[in-house]
Homo-oligomer: A and B are copies of this chain.
């Protein structure tokens, strides 16, 4: 495994072989969810590259950029058996002082996380486009956990005619249903105990829809009731939307994306489920 810190070296490494390459962009502090992407990349391609870069431009001024968990040594140990290249650029390498070019995917970024976190997806699409240009992957792997991110990246790749395949992999969960996330480390024991209610609410939505409940408002109401049983859970949004445009729907129409953001104290968790036939 080669650990690479500069753009030039990453380019040279990529140029040295024309083999298929699977790429997993991450912000580090890896968990089994990330590793499932890396394993899939290894299955599908001759070479695997993983980037570890806590991207400053996708955090709002009041968000957790400075406190985002980091543990490079542990990350590298986890990647070693699976990965050919780890790309770990500095902030200055990615965004030199004069940096000022931005990629905006409109429409699909106006809602959900995009409206709760202004500028977030501009930062995501810009850094992902840069990483794609540097790493030149054959295929890139993203987790369904960040459903809107998947929609944004897919739209960007299609609109900008980027020459690679985007592959979405299922959300990995703890045994009690909590979606794996580097931010779970922020949860107090009490919050951690309450947190599986997100997954329970998603399953409730699935069950109601499969029983023939077509009214999205009614489903959202039942989900809200369930989550509110946990007094410390503070719902930011619950959405039932078209899975491609992410526009809210009133009547369930498959495939639909049920998604939510719920705060426990200062920690904000997101989760989602695609309802399909």
Using a CB–CB cutoff of 8 Å, the interface residues on chain A facing chain B are 7, 11, 98-108, 125-126, 129-130, 133-134, 136, 155-156, 159-163
Contacts and interface: CB of A to CB of B under 8 A. Distances in A.
A273 B11 CA distance: 35
Contacts of A129: 160
Contacts of A101: 103-106, 125, 155-156, 159-160
A57 B101 CA distance: 18
Q: State the oligomeric state as a number of copies.
A: 2
The residue among A104, A156, A161 with the most chain B CB atoms within 10 A of its own CB is A161
A104 B106 contact: no
Contacts of A130: 159-161
A134 B156 contact: no
Contact of A103 (B99, B102, B134): B102
Nearest to A99: B159
Nearest to A94: B161
Contacts of A162: 133
